[in-house]
Amino acid sequence: MHLSLSEQERITWINRISYDSSSEQRLILSVPSLFIRDYVTSQYKQTMSSLLYELTGETLDIDIIVSQEETKAKHPKKGGETTGVPQSKALPKAQPKKRDPNMNSAYQFDGFIVGDNSAFAYNVSMAIAKNPGASYNPCLIYGGVGLGKTHLIQSIGNFIQDNTPELQVLYVTAEMFTNEFIQAIGEEKTPQFRNKYRKADVLLIDDIHFLQKKASTQEEMFHVFNNLFEANKQLVFTCDRPINELQDITDRLKNRFTRGINVDLQPPDFETRLAILKRKSEAQACHVSSDVLEYISRSVNTNVRDLEASLTKLMAYSQLLNKEITLEIAQEQLKGTYSLIRDQSLSIDSIMRVTADYFNISLYDIKGKKRTKSVVLPRQIAMYIARNITDFSTTEIGYEFGGRDHTTVMHSVQRIDTLMKTDQAVHTAIQNLMRQAQNYKRSK
């Protein structure tokens, strides 16, 4: 067995592992943080054990611990060592802070189903919750609707409130922050507003894309951010897209949001979707056959919210009509509900308009002859969507896109198909655009 690692993996993970000590058939390694310990344990420990067996011919237990040097630095030894605190007086015990009423206690880490699409975001969130303000600060979690951003950000808050109650956790949506700020201005209570947010030890703000086009609120957010960041307070944000895709957000605020770590949530794969459905059906004490769960998992590939809504609909049908959920019933009840089916009534023009708005370019540019990267990619994406969710031929699509021939359309479709397999951001954008196009049609 050979451990083949990229240079980035070696720098990020392996180079941070140090030898600590050893005893008979036990090897103890140390790493600098809880997050790195959890990640190395899950990703590399088994491989390291196998390599050691090949080298020594013996089975060795590997323990991975957090570096004692950091522990000592954070918790100095007692017994005469100078700590800067008079030894004759004991430090007052920190009092638990009042729990944030905006937090939903149902959002916990153990209720989050982790898949390949969410493992990194989950581990970063857990590391923050265990050691807030120490690393990964600020943190931005982004991804499409219904993928678990709110679950993760509130799990961080709930974990901290349960395990470090002396820290003040504050959770709001960007819309709540905006409304409070407007009210404070109207009532001439901006000092009280600022004091509330700047007293937080952990500030969690959901859906920062809501701040677009709100210059005054952005200015206030900028100052709150700086105040907390400079005081080593933990900041976590969520957004429905990468920060560089937000419009009408000041550059200096974008810079703050991306200063720490950015992690994304992708749509779950089939196995993860199936695990989510099994967990939900068990929690509801409702028996659903495996073939029905698999059917839902294959049919609904948009997001977790749609996935759970499909199961909820079937469970309600079963309870209200006192019928067992069969595969035939599931197929009938969910027919066309969330799956992206071909739709001749969906116009190419609506697809182009939704895509143009998403990428902040004009409809004229999508139809026109510009060959700049900022225009070519959206144009090819729009062609790909039109080809995949409508029955229009490549010739018809090409005609709508400024009189292009069918070979140009096919080339665009093939290029985007390849890009989706390697670029998760493009894959997510296209999934969102497909749904937006269908919603655009329904709103007309």
With a threshold of 0.75, does the pTM exceed it? no
CATH class assigned to 270-333: mainly alpha
Task: Tell me the CATH number for domain 348-443.
Answer: 1.10.1750.10
For residue 80, the model assigns a pLDDT of: 46
**CB within 8 A of 412, min separation 6: which ones?**
379, 380, 383, 384
> What is the largest distance, in Å, between two alpha-carbon atoms of the chain?
86
Architecture of domain 109-265: 3-Layer(aba) Sandwich (3.40)
pLDDT of residue 342: 44
Tokens of 136: 């990964």
| CATH topology match: 270-333 vs 348-443 | no
Record the tokens describing residue 111, joined without a space: 């209720």
Backbone φ and ψ of 10, nearest 5° = -60, -45
Dihedral angle sign, alpha carbons of residues 426, 432, 433, 434: positive
Query: How many Cβ atoms from other residues are within 10 Å of residue 249's Cβ?
Result: 22
The backbone torsions φ and ψ at residue 341, rounded to the nearest 5 degrees and listed phi first, read -90, 160
Q: Among residues 439, 426, 424, 423, which one has the least CA distance to residue 389? A: 439
**Interior/surface letters 54-83, b for 16+ CB within 10 angstroms, e for the rest:** eeeeeeeebebebbeeeeeeeeeeeeeeee
What's the pLDDT score for residue 4? 63
pLDDT at position 205:
95
Which pLDDT belongs to residue 338? 52
Kindly give, in sequence order, each residue whose CB lies less than 8 Å from that of residue 123, ignoring residues fewer than 6 positions away. 35, 38, 39, 42
Closest C-alpha to 163, from 136, 119, 202: 202
Query: Which residues neighbour 401 within 8 Å (Cβ) at sequence distance 6 or greater?
Result: 348, 352, 366, 367, 379, 382, 383, 408, 409
Quick one: pLDDT at residue 269?
85
Residue linked to tokens 């068990």: 282
Q: What is the pLDDT of residue 236?
A: 96
| pLDDT for residue 42 | 80
Fold for the domain defined by 7-68 = GMP Synthetase; Chain A, domain 3 (3.30.300)
pLDDT value of position 156:
96
Domain ranges of the chain: 7-68, 109-265, 270-333, 348-443
- Taking 50 as the pLDDT cut, the residues of the chain under it are 1-2, 70-75, 77-91, 339-344
